[in-house]
Amino acid sequence: MRNSFSSGINRATPVILLLILTILMINIGYSAEARWIRVGNLHNFYQAHGCEPEEDFGNIQQWGLRWPAFWELQDMQAARGFWIGAANFYDPVINYTFPYKVAHCGPRPRPEIEENEMMPVKFELIAYKSHPTVLVDGEISSDNQWEDLIDNVDETLPSDRIIHNIINSSLGISMDRKIYGFSQQYHDNFFIYDMTFTNNGICGKDIKDELITHANTLEDVYFYWQYRNAVCAEGTVEGTTINWIRQPGWGTERNMRWGKNTMNEVLGENPDAPAPNDVSHNGELIRCFYSWHGKHSASEYDNIGSPNYNGWQSDGRLGASQYTGVVTLHADKSPDDHSNDPYQPRTTMYINSDESATVNNDQYSQSRMNDEYTRLMAGGHPPLSQAEEVGDGDADSWKDGSYSAGIGFGPYTLAPGDSVRIVLAEGVNGLSRKMNTEVGRNWYKAAKLGQSLTFELPDGSSTTDEDEYKNAWVYTGVDSILKTFRRAIDLYNNDLILPHPPDPPETFEVSSQGNRIYLTWTDNAENSDYFEGYKLYRAKGKADSTYYEIFDCNKTDGNIVHEYSDLAAERGQLYFYYIISYDNGTQPGAPGVLRSSLFYTRTNKGATLKKPPAITLDDIRVVPNPYNIRNLNHQYIGEPNKIMFLNLPDKCEIKIYTERGDLIYEIDHEGSGDNKWNLITSSRQIVVSGVYIATFYVPGDIVDNVTGELIIKKGTSSIKKFVVIR
């Protein structure tokens, strides 16, 4: 009998054919559920089917692995692929034995196929503590409200967030994936992936939604990941791109996007014969790969670090100095020996990101699976890494450029019920924003403005070569990413035990007022061990900007408070804030003072000074009056159902009535000369056309804060009519 899938199909019964087609068609259009981990300085999303393929979430190619996440356009994840393969696999779904069978998720999505290859069973985000409530002028104003989608809270967690993801695969191997994310500032730039793979025999479901299983021992099993990194969106995008609108980036050529010139280096492949550039930690080789932004042939300048040479508001600032990669923390030797195997991963084959093996992967194409398994998953270690092959050349020109890193673990033999465990950490590090600005601008002065300068190198020596200077600083990212890997190794070896910073305030509220921006916060952080104080930070103009400390209160000085009046705010400017709590630096095991993450409390809506309170009720106005739905473009852009009450006193009660006297809405106004109403009643109904009456009543004497002089007497009132036309 010929051992080919086509011959197996020729002999398949009509029932089996129907079963195959039905299984393939289940849930066409399926889109995997996603969750973000975004409490530290590295943000990423994860999907329920076990991996994050290209453009499968957000419909944007560079859309994850953001560091430093404080700034926009720091995305570095273009595509991920995760495959499970085995040799001599009997497939009970079609009653056929494949020489090599591979179940796929990515690197390019095929939802109608992957739903039947990697099948989600469980997917939830668990939090150590829920994110705070952040309000600006009474409205939720935190990205966490929409992106930190918590399913459960568990205060016994070792990390701030855990995504717990279980999938079954068409090979009958399940994956139990736990993704750990940390907010502590010394460990907030990596995630730990703890994965257990079990031969549970569940291969899929039949047309009656009943499980299809096998009870076979699986031979030569490999677990394989592809990483298409593109460092980084800010330095590889010219202006706003595709279908997302964010602030402009820069890049000499369109092809600098999406990893066309990505370099991938591998360390620690062979413990028996370490390479010259291999590094050790605690006596063991660090087994890792890392990626960075390499040279591009189309660039008119040295593009290492991607300086802003011709982009939006060009000033030389480096837009792609990051190094990102993955380190192996543990891999079982076998199902019977759970000690760490120093020879894993067995495969570190790089792959062209656009080759056929990355597109239209098919678990029923025998020829494709043979190639995927033998050449990539079980391909071993190439004599040279992709970065070593490229050397000092242009990454995009070497074999047509755009290469992904691949790592494969195996071969394992898994009897029914057997499990193996693999633990990885993925991290990012590199130059700080301050250094990106300083180094890039210094380089720009010489490279584009023609100034003759002497530059200081990282080792303290000097040079007059601006490219040598810039590149030397960018290349310090190698030491930085290795430092990140070492911290991940130590944390794993310490059973993920990590001192927690003090909790952030449960509520942080910012109120725009007439003569100040008023900030308040709750005191729950003071229940945290070693709590010391709070610091407030402010930025002007936009959330993605430089923040400055404006306030500090602490136990040492005895001045703990829970409110602050920002009297330095300027009229007409938008202001953004965050608050952190911090400890006294004496926590056992902590390298220094620990602070809560700014991502818990950073506001995404600007506060601004409102009009000063009026000293009389005589000039109160309702604007627009009449409100006419036909004039939306001439009223409040972006807020179609809004009227404003202007020239209000510092405090008053506003009540809105219909013409016949029915009370429909109340506002307790305080602190400024204006307020707004969205034309929605207290019963959540949009008001209809008609005449309405607003009453303004001063419930208490209003006096001058400085002189104490009476401004408006208690009981003073005013009435205004306004018209709504629908």
Per-residue pLDDT at 114:
58
**Residues 6 or more apart whose Cβ sits within 8 Å of residue 424:** 192, 193, 195, 326, 327, 328, 329
Per-residue pLDDT at 240:
36
**What is the percent of the chain where pLDDT is above 70?**
90
Please report, for residues 103, 644, 694, the alpha-carbon distance to residue 721 in angstroms, rounded to integers and kept in the order given.
69, 13, 6
Q: Residue 26 above 70 pLDDT?
A: no
- Taking the C-alpha atoms of residue 438 and residue 318, their distance in angstroms, rounded to an integer, is 9
Which range is least confidently modeled, 249-258, 264-273, 439-448? 249-258
**Residues 6 or more apart whose Cβ sits within 8 Å of residue 316:** 307, 308, 309, 440, 441, 442, 443, 444, 445, 447, 448
Strands 284-285 and 280-281: antiparallel
Over residues 265-312, the pLDDT tens digits come to 999 999 999 999 999 999 999 999 999 999 999 888 999 999 998 876
- Burial level of 627, CB count in 10 A (0-12/13-18/19+)? buried
Per-residue pLDDT at 82:
97
Over residues 413-438, the pLDDT tens digits come to 999 999 999 999 999 999 999 999 99
List, as one string, the DSSP characters of 448-474.
TT-----EE-TTS-EES-HHHHHHHHH
Over residues 107-132, the pLDDT tens digits come to 997 765 557 899 999 999 999 999 99
Cα separation of the two ends of the chain: 77
Q: Which SS3 state, helix, strand or coil, does residue 618 take?
A: coil
Of 552, 449, 568, residue with least CA distance to 516: 568
Q: pTM of the prediction?
A: 0.83
Per-residue pLDDT at 634:
66
More confident residue, 97 or 542: 97
Which residue type occupies 285? Answer: L
List alpha helices for 11-125, DSSP H: 14-25, 111-114
Over residues 497-509, the pLDDT tens digits come to 999 999 999 999 9
Given a contact cutoff of 8 angstroms between Cβ atoms, the answer to whether 420 and 412 are in contact is yes
Q: Residue 675 above 90 pLDDT?
A: no
- Taking the C-alpha atoms of residue 118 and residue 100, their distance in angstroms, rounded to an integer, is 17
User: Residues 693-710: what's their mean pLDDT?
Assistant: 92
Give the confidence band of 15 by pLDDT, cuts at 50, 70, 90.
Answer: very low
User: Residues 663-672: what's their mean pLDDT?
Assistant: 92
Per-residue pLDDT at 27:
34
Per-residue pLDDT at 92:
95
Q: Residue 320 above 90 pLDDT?
A: yes
Q: Residue 378 above 70 pLDDT?
A: yes
Domains of the chain: 5-228+326-387+400-429 (no CATH), 507-600 (2.60.40.10), 621-725 (2.60.40)
Over residues 391-409, the pLDDT tens digits come to 999 999 999 889 999 999 9
- Taking the C-alpha atoms of residue 216 and residue 89, their distance in angstroms, rounded to an integer, is 9
Q: Residue 12 above 60 pLDDT?
A: no
User: Residues 539-558: what's their mean pLDDT?
Assistant: 93
User: Residues 600-617: what's their mean pLDDT?
Assistant: 91
- Taking the C-alpha atoms of residue 317 and residue 445, their distance in angstroms, rounded to an integer, is 11
Tokens of 449: 């403005």
Neighbours of 396 (CB within 10 A): 24
Buried b (16+ CB within 10 A) or exposed e, 244-274: eeeebbbbbbebbbbbbbbbbbbbbbeeeee
Which range is least confidently modeled, 204-213, 479-488, 627-636, 666-675? 627-636
Mean pLDDT of the chain: 90
The backbone torsions φ and ψ at residue 207, rounded to the nearest 5 degrees and listed phi first, read -70, -15
Which range is least confidently modeled, 6-15, 510-519, 573-582? 6-15
